[in-house]
Amino acid sequence: MVRGCMSTCGMGSLHMWKGTINADSYIQVLEQLMLPSRRHLFQGRPCIFPHDNARPHTASITMSWLHRRRIRVLKWPACSPDLSPIENIWRIIKRKVRQRRPKTVEFFLATEIQHYCCLLLGV
């Protein structure tokens, strides 16, 4: 699974994840992806972190983790890609990756990363 983040200030880093996401692994993704991207993109300015109502996002351990870090959360319904701008990014990347027809997981990931970086750089 590939995770990424974006904001009005730009796109954050990309994160590869093997397996399914539960509350504990979601917190790891937040620590490894969201926090560094937040520091880089917002540089101390306030921001609101949006995430849907998927179970890992709304688990008490996740909400406590976010609260301890004073991260304001904007909630929206699960399965609402129209509300999540990054879903449009994933759709573009998936279309471009399919055009390349990767034969291996490694080539697939390299292709996906390449397209993400192109979007990041506006190429």
Please report the domains of the chain, with CATH numbers, ordered by start residue: 2-121 (3.30.420.10)
Specify the pLDDT at position 91.
Answer: 76
Question: In the block, which residue shows the tokens 């699974």?
Answer: 1
Length of the chain: 123
Backbone angles phi, psi at 54, to 5 degrees: -60, 145
pLDDT at 65: 95
Alpha-carbon Rg for the chain, nearest whole angstrom, is 15
pTM of the model: 0.65
Q: What is the mean pLDDT of each run of 10 residues along the chain (123 residues)?
A: 66 71 90 82 79 86 94 77 70 73 67 62 53
